[in-house]
Chains A and B, each alone.
Chain A
Amino acid sequence: MLSYRHKKLIRRFLKGRIIIYGCVLLVLVVLAFFAPYLAPYDPIQISMEGRKSPNIDHIFGTDRLGRDIFSRVMYGAKFSLTIGIISVSIGLTIGTIMGVISAYYGGIIDTIIMRFIDALLAFPGILLALVVIAVLGPGLINVMLAVGISSVPEYARLARGKVLSVMQLEYVEAIHSLGGSNFRIIVKHILPNISAPITILATLQVGNAILVGSGLSFLGMGAQPPTPEWGLMTAEGRNFISQAWWISTFPGIAILITVISINQFGDGLREAIDPYLK
C-alpha cells in the first residue's frame, strides 16, 4: 500500500506536460530504435525518380537523389537523440567530477580548476565545440565529444556550488570525525545529495546539445553524407530552398519538436522535484 506522501509524489510526476511531452519523447525513442522496421523506404538508397514534392507515396517528398525524406527523418531520430544523450553524459561526468573535487578539496585545487572553468566559459556557445572539432576533425563521434566538453563548465559550477552547501551540513562533519574516507564520503554521502539538480540540468541540456550538435552537422563539421542526420539534411536542402522547400523544412520541424519536448519535459521534471521553483 502506498503512503499518502508517495501518492502525492507520483501525482506530481504524472501531471500535465510531463505526460504529454513524455509521450512525444517516447515516440521519438521508438522511432530511434525501430526506424528500420517502421520506415517505408531505405533512407540511403538513391532513386532514379529524383526530387519530388510531398505526395501520397512520399508524404514529406524526396530529396535531389530521390531519397524519401519521411524515412530519413525517422532514421534521424536515432542520431539526434544519441548526440543529445551521449554528449550530455560526457559533460555531466567530467563536469561533476571537476566540480566535486574542486569544492571538496578546496584551496589551490579549487582555484586551479575554477580558473580553468572560467577560461572555458570565455568561449561563447558553439565556439568551444568548434575548437574541439578543430583538433579532433569533423565527424559524428567528435561532435558528441565536442558538445560534451563544451557543456563541462555548467555542470562543474553547479556541482561545486551544491557540494559546498552539502559540506556545511552536520552529518558530513560527523562522518569525517568517524574516520570515513574521502572517496566514501563523496560517493556515498555527497553525490546522492547533489544528484537531483544535476539530473534536472542534464535533462534540460539534452535539447541544447541536440541544437548545437545538429548546428555543427549543418556547418559540415558533424555527420557526413549520406547519414540521415537532421542538421545535415537541413544543410543539404539549403541550396534548393527556392525550388524544394520540403528538403530542409521537415528535418527542421523534427528538431524543433524534439527540443521543445525535451525542454518542456525537463521543466516539468524540475517542477515535480522541486515545486518551489515553479
Chain B
Amino acid sequence: MLNYTIKRIFEVVPVLLIVSTIVFSVMHLLPGDPTLLMLAGAEGGSIPQERLDELRNIMGLNKPLYEQYFNFISNAISGDLGTSIRYRTPVVEILLEKFPYTIKLSLLGLLVAIILGIIFGLLAALFRDTWIDHLSMTISLIGVSMPIYWLGLLLILVFSINFNLLPSSGATGFDSIVLPALTLGFVSAGLICRLLRSSLLEVLNEDYIRTAKGKGLTDRIILIKHAMKNAMIPVITILGLQFGNMLAGAVVTETVFSRPGLGRLVVNGILWKDYPLVQGTVLFIAFIYVFVNLFVDVSYSWFDPRIKLK
C-alpha cells in the first residue's frame, strides 16, 4: 500500500511540472505584448510607456525566458502566484477567498450526481426492459446530452420565477446552492446511472448471485448485501473524473447563477485579460484535480485489494 502510494506520488511530479509549463507559456504565446494587452484590458485608453515598463519590471517580463520560467516555478512552489492586474491583490489571496464557494458547490453537485445516478441506475437494472428502465435511460440520456447552462436557466425559470421557491443567484444561505448543485449534479448523474445499470446487470449474472438465490435469500438482501458492493466498483473508479467534471462544470454554473468561485474567476480573468489571475486559477484547479485523482487511485486500491497485487 505504502509503495503503491509513493509510486503514484512520483508519477504525479512530471505531470505537475508539464502542467505548470503549459500554464507558464499562456502569457508567452499571446499574440502581441502581454503587458499592453493586460493594461488595455484593466485600465483601457492609451497606456503610457512608463506604465508598461513598470508592469514589465514588476512581473519580471524583461528577464530572459529561462529565468522567468525558473521564477514562475519556484514562486508557485512557495505559494506565490503573482498579483492580479484587476484586483491589485495577490492571486493566492483571491483564490483562497473564492475556493470555499467552488468546493462546496462541487461536493454538493457530486452528492446530487451520486444519489440521482444510483437511484435511476438501480431502478433501471431491477426493472430491466420495462417502462421504468426505458424512462431511467431516457432521463440519463437527456442528462448527458443537455447543455449545463441551459438546464440552469430552465431550473431558474421553474423554481425561481414560476414557483418562487429558491433564489436564482447569489451565495448566501443554503437555499442559494440548491439549484446550482442540482444543475451540476444532473449531468453527471446520467453517466453514473448508465454505468451502474450495466455493471449491476453484469454482476447479477455472476455465479455467486445464483448461489445466494439458491440459498433462499430474498432479492432485496441479494441486491443490497451482495450485488451492489461489486457493482459500485466502476462507479467509485470514475468519482475522481466526476469531481473534475464538477470543477469544470462550476465554470459555467457559477456564471449562470452569478455565484462567486474559481470558475467565474477564470472566465472573468480571460475577459479582463488579467493573465496572472487566469494562470493562477487554472494552475490551482489543475493541481486540485490531480491530487483528487491521486487520492481516488490510492483509496481505490484500498477498496479493491486486487490492485495492490498488481
Identify whether the interface residues of B are mostly helix, strand, loop, or mixed: helix
* List of B residues within 8 angstroms of A136 by Cβ: 31
The answer to whether A256 and B145 touch across the interface, beta carbons within 8 angstroms, is yes
- Bound together, the chains give a CA A138 to CA B290 distance in angstroms of 27
The answer to whether A123 and B251 touch across the interface, beta carbons within 8 angstroms, is no
Does A33 lie at the interface of the complex (its beta carbon under 8 Å from any beta carbon of B)?
Answer: no
Which of B15, B19, B150 has the most chain A CB atoms closer than 10 A to its own CB?
Answer: B150
* List of B residues within 8 angstroms of A259 by Cβ: 145-147
B88-96, B171-179, B212-220, B281-289 - interface stretch: B281-289
- The A-contacting residues of B in range 253-310, CB under 8 angstroms, are 255-256, 266-267, 269-271, 275, 278, 282, 285-286, 289-290
The answer to whether B26 and A135 touch across the interface, beta carbons within 8 angstroms, is yes
Given contacts A124-B244, A218-B149, A238-B256, A130 and B270 within 8 Å (CB-CB): yes
Does B204 lie at the interface of the complex (its beta carbon under 8 Å from any beta carbon of A)?
Answer: no
A22-30, A113-121, A193-201 - interface stretch: A113-121
- Total interface residues in chain A, CB < 8 Å: 44
A7-15, A34-42, A241-249 - interface stretch: A241-249
The answer to whether A125 and B255 touch across the interface, beta carbons within 8 angstroms, is no
Chain A proximity of B106: nearest CB distance (Å): 10
Does B161 lie at the interface of the complex (its beta carbon under 8 Å from any beta carbon of A)?
Answer: yes
Binary per-residue interface labels of chain B (234-252) against chain A in the complex, 1 for a CB within 8 Å, 0 otherwise: 0000000000110111011
Chain B proximity of A73: nearest CB distance (Å): 13
- Bound together, the chains give a CA A229 to CA B31 distance in angstroms of 26
Given contacts A241-B153, A260-B141, A211 and B285 within 8 Å (CB-CB): no
Does A127 lie at the interface of the complex (its beta carbon under 8 Å from any beta carbon of B)?
Answer: yes
Chain B proximity of A275: nearest CB distance (Å): 16
Chain A proximity of B36: nearest CB distance (Å): 14
Interface size class of B (residues with CB under 8 A): 35 or more
* List of A residues within 8 angstroms of B30 by Cβ: 135
Which of B145, B245, B267, B289 has the most chain A CB atoms closer than 10 A to its own CB?
Answer: B145
Does A90 lie at the interface of the complex (its beta carbon under 8 Å from any beta carbon of B)?
Answer: no
* List of B residues within 8 angstroms of A2 by Cβ: none
The answer to whether B145 and A126 touch across the interface, beta carbons within 8 angstroms, is no
Chain B proximity of A157: nearest CB distance (Å): 13
The answer to whether A127 and B286 touch across the interface, beta carbons within 8 angstroms, is yes
Which of B153, B156, B247, B289 has the most chain A CB atoms closer than 10 A to its own CB?
Answer: B153
Binary per-residue interface labels of chain B (138-166) against chain A in the complex, 1 for a CB within 8 Å, 0 otherwise: 00011011111110011011000100000
Binary per-residue interface labels of chain A (223-254) against chain B in the complex, 1 for a CB within 8 Å, 0 otherwise: 00000000100110110011001001100100
The answer to whether A127 and B153 touch across the interface, beta carbons within 8 angstroms, is no
Does B224 lie at the interface of the complex (its beta carbon under 8 Å from any beta carbon of A)?
Answer: no
Chain B proximity of A49: nearest CB distance (Å): 24
Does B9 lie at the interface of the complex (its beta carbon under 8 Å from any beta carbon of A)?
Answer: no
The answer to whether A256 and B150 touch across the interface, beta carbons within 8 angstroms, is yes
Number of A-B contacts (CB under 8 A): 132
Given contacts A125-B245, A255-B150, A131 and B23 within 8 Å (CB-CB): yes
Nearest-CB residue, chain B, relative to A245: B157
- Bound together, the chains give a CA A119 to CA B290 distance in angstroms of 9
The answer to whether A231 and B245 touch across the interface, beta carbons within 8 angstroms, is no
The answer to whether B142 and A221 touch across the interface, beta carbons within 8 angstroms, is no
The answer to whether B146 and A256 touch across the interface, beta carbons within 8 angstroms, is yes
Binary per-residue interface labels of chain A (130-157) against chain B in the complex, 1 for a CB within 8 Å, 0 otherwise: 1101111110000000000000000000
Contact for B270 among A122, A133, A218, CB less than 8 A: A133
Given contacts A131-B22, A245-B157, A218 and B252 within 8 Å (CB-CB): yes
The answer to whether B29 and A255 touch across the interface, beta carbons within 8 angstroms, is no
* List of A residues within 8 angstroms of B245 by Cβ: 124-125
Given contacts A122-B286, A234-B150, A245-B157, A219 and B251 within 8 Å (CB-CB): yes
* List of A residues within 8 angstroms of B23 by Cβ: 131
Does A215 lie at the interface of the complex (its beta carbon under 8 Å from any beta carbon of B)?
Answer: yes
* List of A residues within 8 angstroms of B289 by Cβ: 122-124
- Bound together, the chains give a CA A133 to CA B266 distance in angstroms of 11
Nearest-CB residue, chain B, relative to A120: B22
Does A264 lie at the interface of the complex (its beta carbon under 8 Å from any beta carbon of B)?
Answer: yes
* List of B residues within 8 angstroms of A256 by Cβ: 142, 145-147, 150
A binding-site residues for B, Cβ under 8 Å: 115-116, 118-120, 122-127, 130-131, 133-138, 207, 211, 214-215, 218-221, 231, 234-235, 237-238, 241-242, 245, 248-249, 252, 255-256, 259-260, 263-264
Inter-chain pairs besides A215-B147, A259-B146, 6 sampled, C-beta below 8 Å: A126-B248, A131-B278, A238-B256, A252-B147, A252-B153, A263-B145
